[in-house]
Chains A and B, each alone.
Chain A
Amino acid sequence: MAMTEVSRRFAQHEELITGTEAVAQALRLADVDVMAGYPIRPYDSVMSSVAKMIANGQMDADFIVAESEHSQFEIVKHASATGARVFVGSSGVGWMYAMEAIVVTAALRLPVVALVGNRALDDPGAFGVEHNDALMVRDSGWLLYWVAEGQEALDATLLAYRVAEDARVSLPCALSMDGAFLTHSQHLVLVPEKDLVEAFLPPYDLKKRRFHPDNPISIAPQYNEDWVMETRKQSDAAMRRARGVIAEAYAELKRLTGRGDPDPFVETYRVEDADYVLIGMGTVAMPIKVAVDQLREEGKRVGFLRIKWFRPFPDEELRRLLHGRKGVGVVDRDYSYGSTRHGGAVYNEVRSALYDLEDRPPVIGFIAGLGGREVSVDDVFQIEAKLEQAAAGDLGAESAHWIGVRGPVE
């Protein structure tokens, strides 16, 4: 993409770095104050990166090595309450161990930014990606973003701070990143200079909510039935406002960096004239895009839509982009046993979003790539073929299809 006039004012240099290193670069640029780490693969390489930058004097922050994930998230929650900009993260069952601290962070409306290096939940042991860990907070008031590549990891981290800390939103934001496929793969990333980030990201200011002797307030007392519902509604209103704030921030980031997608909430690939659209989150984008190109060569009109923001969910974009299609196939890298049509979490959200359309397409669910298993281009061919069959009524549409499962598993 050609650089705009504005973006040329700011220098950016190219580096070959991993997804987590890209996040670490953004943390340095955002001048984060307090971070807390606890080891679990694969998110933790981001903490190794920032620890090294602090040790080498490239960054001025306190990095606290916690004794559990629960403590990690409590440490940054309270640092955030004092007015410090904070960062934290985890993966898989580590994210689960911290869950109590994670939900109260959202309830307290503190703009903590977290990295979730998506990892399968135990048991049995698996380091590989599944999205169930991050999805566990989908109802709690966390903004949730799914990253697909290195450049986006850096940009989305800056975006996360700006949106989360905006007084109209003031909610925490989790950046989800596929374990191994993105956390540990290298990408060419344009790293901006500090002046660009300073132009984009205003200082964090909690104003009247800062926990400090100058501001004698009691935070999070007992409400019970008197006020809890009103507080919940305030969080709901903040999440509704987040859409507008995200759009505003994304436009500004695009203006400053000279890069980005046309839409802040979804990425579209050859969707315009597509009969069939596949949907996914994260790095599954790559094999799907390759398959789309090959299918197009065979004359099939197939496109791909990647959901970037899962919270707030892109209802409007999905309705606008998917109405009237012959079929929509949702590739979930997660499971939701016993859910509607036994589909994944994304499938059920997409299908629900399209319900009000008069010309709503059939929506078919696919479960693939669990536990870090690769989703290959051939898998995508299989998915597309099943989508066509199911949309035409030749294959059961009532139940999600598991892709690549070996042997009879019943």
Chain B
Amino acid sequence: MAITQTRPQERPELAPIRTIRDVPVEEFYTSGHRTCQGCHSALLMKYLAKAAGPRTVTIGATGCMYVANTSYYATPWVIPWMHTQLGATGSAVIGAAAGYAVQQRKGKLAEEPINVIGIAGDGGGADMGLSAISAALQHTQYNVLIILYDNESYANTDIQASGSTPWGAVTAFTPSGTVKRITQDRWKKNTPGMLVAGHPEARYIGSASAAFGVDVMNKIRTALRVGGPTYLHVHDACPKGWDFDPRYSRELGQLAVECGIVPLWEVIEGELQYNGITRQIVEGRRKRKPVREYLMRQGRFAHFTEEDVDYFQAKVDEMWEKWILPGVLPVQALPEGLPKPGRRAAGLADGAGAAANGAVAP
């Protein structure tokens, strides 16, 4: 039986943005929020609303972008927004997309593509809601985009460590003490890489940074255009959680990419592309900056010793020098003698090869 899938549709309103001049003037995320000065997650909300346009609904899980964004009588959302529970972003978008799909099929709603976008923080998405996001990426009959705004802590509840907090960072739950200097002893979870590895039917999964607005907006448009369940992970500078002057948000977001800590990439229908600075690094056209330049400008790493910086650098080096897919997949070596992908089907029994080569038989 064929796997039920939506197919990419003609969506002229989601055309690629080549220069900043192509960006629509209209705002669908405006005043009314009370996010911190320099908040790059709020900037991401503005980008996603702009890129997706008015035929969009947004569903936001509990987190900064819920609590600071939607004070009653002062919503910044011009397009519809609905709250969902902390771990429910994946389920919420599937429910809404199913609701529209069935009602359109039964003639209860006019047929049109509606962009259903779920918004989770790293606590809601990479920790609690991971299982629901994974499940959503399997429901290929629905068009949804899940955006994870990764500001690297539970920033709404006063900065506690999440699975997405960098190693060593000071948070309310992982202080630096006189006996234990480092209590955040978990290396940051590679959420987009994990989702790519586990969801071969998802046609778009990407990694971005809010410091690169055009790249983010293009990724949002590509995901919506490609269709099916899609995912975009966005690294957002957080002055409150990282402890730096709000004026440096963009600079720090960019430094994270320049130091190779945050890679920019996307997998579109199975094809990996590196973007921007990351692409230059991968292609050897640019040298990574030392991680020290990024770490030492943030209060959360102020307790680091030389050893700690070296350890952090070594882990990042490993990601670039040893991972088979730098910044994407932490497999460090392939078994010897493994044939190239195109030849592997030859090992299958007669008749099985065609299906394994990608053709889906009805």
Contact = CB atoms under 8 A, between A and B. Distances in A.
Do A and B form a real pair? yes
A84 B102 contact: yes
A56 interface: no
A81 interface: yes
Interface string B125-141: 00000011011000100
B114 A62 contact: no
A184 to B, nearest CB: 28
A216 B78 contact: yes
Which of A64, A100, A223 has the most chain B CB atoms inside 10 A of its CB?
A: A64
Contacts of A75: 91-92, 94-95, 98
Contact of A84 (B85, B92, B99): B99
B67 interface: yes
Q: Chain B at the A interface: mostly helix, strand, loop or mixed?
A: mixed
Given A83-B103, A83-B109, A74 B71 contact: no
Contacts of B135: 66-67, 71
B79 A213 contact: yes
Contact of B139 (A64, A81, A203, A220): A64
B272 interface: no
B342 to A, nearest CB: 34
A77 B92 CA distance: 8
A218 B81 contact: yes
A74 B83 CA distance: 11
Given A62-B98, A62-B102, A83-B108, A101 B80 contact: no
A101 B92 CA distance: 10
Interface string A81-102: 1111010000000000000110
B98 A79 contact: yes
A261 B344 CA distance: 69
B81 A62 contact: no
A61 B80 CA distance: 25
Contact of A61 (B83, B84, B102): B102
B55 interface: yes
Nearest to B110: A214
Which of A33, A62, A227 has the most chain B CB atoms inside 10 A of its CB?
A: A62
Interface size class of B (residues with CB under 8 A): 35 or more
Given A62-B102, A70-B88, A216 B80 contact: yes
Interface size class of A (residues with CB under 8 A): 35 or more
A101 B102 contact: no
A322 interface: no
Interface in A248-298: none
Given A75-B95, A101-B88, A222 B71 contact: yes
B87 interface: yes
B182 interface: no
Which of B77, B81, B88, B95 has the most chain A CB atoms inside 10 A of its CB?
A: B95
A339 interface: no
Contacts of A226: 72
A67 B99 contact: no
A27 interface: no
A23 interface: no
Contacts of A61: 102
Contact of A79 (B85, B95, B139): B95
Which of B56, B67, B70, B134 has the most chain A CB atoms inside 10 A of its CB?
A: B70
A41 interface: no
B131 A67 contact: yes
Interface string B85-129: 101101111111011111101101100001000000000000000
A221 B139 CA distance: 28
Given A83-B103, A104-B85, A211 B94 contact: no
B72 A222 contact: yes
A2 interface: no
Interface in B204-262: none
A78 interface: yes
A223 to B, nearest CB: 5
A370 interface: no
Interface in B50-72: 54-57, 59, 66-67, 70-72
B75 interface: yes
B296 interface: no
Given A222-B70, A227-B72, A78 B103 contact: no
B102 A78 contact: no
B270 to A, nearest CB: 24
Given A78-B59, A78-B96, A216-B78, A33 B84 contact: no
A221 B58 CA distance: 13
A72 B135 CA distance: 11
Contacts of A104: 85
B82 interface: yes
A213 B84 contact: no
A74 B75 CA distance: 23
Nearest to B139: A64
Interface string A130-166: 0000000000000000000000000000000000000
A215 B78 CA distance: 10
A79 B108 CA distance: 14
Contacts of B98: 33-34, 62, 64, 75, 79, 84
A60 interface: yes
Contacts of A219: 80-83
A221 B71 contact: yes
A309 B100 CA distance: 33
Contacts of A100: 85
Contacts of A68: 131-132
A211 B80 contact: yes
Given A70-B87, A78-B82, A221 B72 contact: yes
Contact of A78 (B71, B87, B95): B95
A355 B35 CA distance: 52
27 contacts: A33-B98, A33-B99, A33-B103, A34-B99, A34-B102, A36-B95, A64-B95, A68-B131, A71-B88, A74-B84, A75-B94, A78-B82, A78-B84, A78-B92, A78-B94, A78-B96, A82-B95, A82-B100, A84-B99, A101-B85, A211-B80, A213-B57, A216-B79, A218-B70, A218-B81, A220-B83, A221-B71
Given A67-B134, A203-B108, A222-B71, 5 more contacts: A33-B103, A78-B91, A83-B109, A104-B85, A221-B72
Query: Top 10 nearest A-B pairs by Cβ distance?
Result: A82-B99, A78-B95, A221-B70, A79-B99, A75-B95, A74-B91, A220-B83, A67-B135, A71-B91, A84-B99
